[in-house]
Amino acid sequence: MITRLAPHTYREFLTVKSKLKLHGFNNLTKTLSFNIYDICYAETPQDQQAYVEYINSVYDAERLTRILTDVVDIIGANILNIARQDYDPQGASVTILISEQPVTPTESQIEESPGPLPETILAHLDKSHITVHTYPEIHPVDGIATFRVDIDVSTCGVISPLKALNYLIHKFESDIVTVDYRVRGFTRDVEGKKHFIDHEINSIQNYLSEDTRNGYQMTDVNVYQENLFHTKMLLKQFELDNYLFGDATSNLSAEQREQVTAKVKHEMLEIFYGRNVAV
């Protein structure tokens, strides 16, 4: 449920060109979606199982909650509620309900009275929230292991989720990243004119730091008239030792290292392009 301001209350947001005075609440919904991939090679079944256990311990629900809490601070939001869960045999998820304004208890929140209905909570959750889900996966024959993290940051109002880009990319040591950003809905100025976006944007890349841009091969697919922006990122620097997991990989011959390098690079290219690529 969106809390609306009084009819004669005005909000302002800052654009590159000027400050625009709004009538009522900023109803624009901005959603930033990440698919982050980390790739490695684990040769034996024991190492493959150890990899899954490692991912489950390093990126469990508790640590993911800490990461998302940092994101909330970065974008300047406030936490309303946190739900988190670890899954058996693998994976975890966290959902954080956020608001633009600081949370101060109202009389209705502390008095003896029924709480809100579930549909009320879900309606708000649909507008401003952060979610993360993890997906460890291993190919039992090739030994290629992929760890995927899906993150959605959806805000309603002035808050921009784009400020969390650099932090999340570095926090998960990403090999491949696909990023989607979209703005939906509209807000009105005091003269009643609709505005379907409240900031200038040409590319998601403009919100990345210089070291991030230099470290990744990137490509854009943007539909400007639909306020839809898409960027794919592939890590440029490749050092095989950074992709090896387990004791069995420490004694690879030069020929084996060459074969594993080809496997890992092939896996990364297929994920980056989103299609099967002939060897």
List active site positions. 128, 133, 156
CA dihedral 40, 42, 43, 48 (to 10 degrees): -150
Classify burial at 41, counting beta carbons within 10 Å of its beta carbon; exposed 0-12, middle 13-18, buried 19 or more. buried
Q: 3-state DSSP call for residue 193?
A: coil
Strand order in the sheet with 216-220: 78-86, 92-99, 129-138, 144-156, 29-41, 176-184, 228-235, 216-220
Residue 3: DSSP 8-state: P
Q: What whole-number distance in Å separates Cα of residue 44 and Cα of residue 258?
A: 18
Task: Find, among 70, 72, 97, 71, the residue nearest to 82 by Cα.
Answer: 97
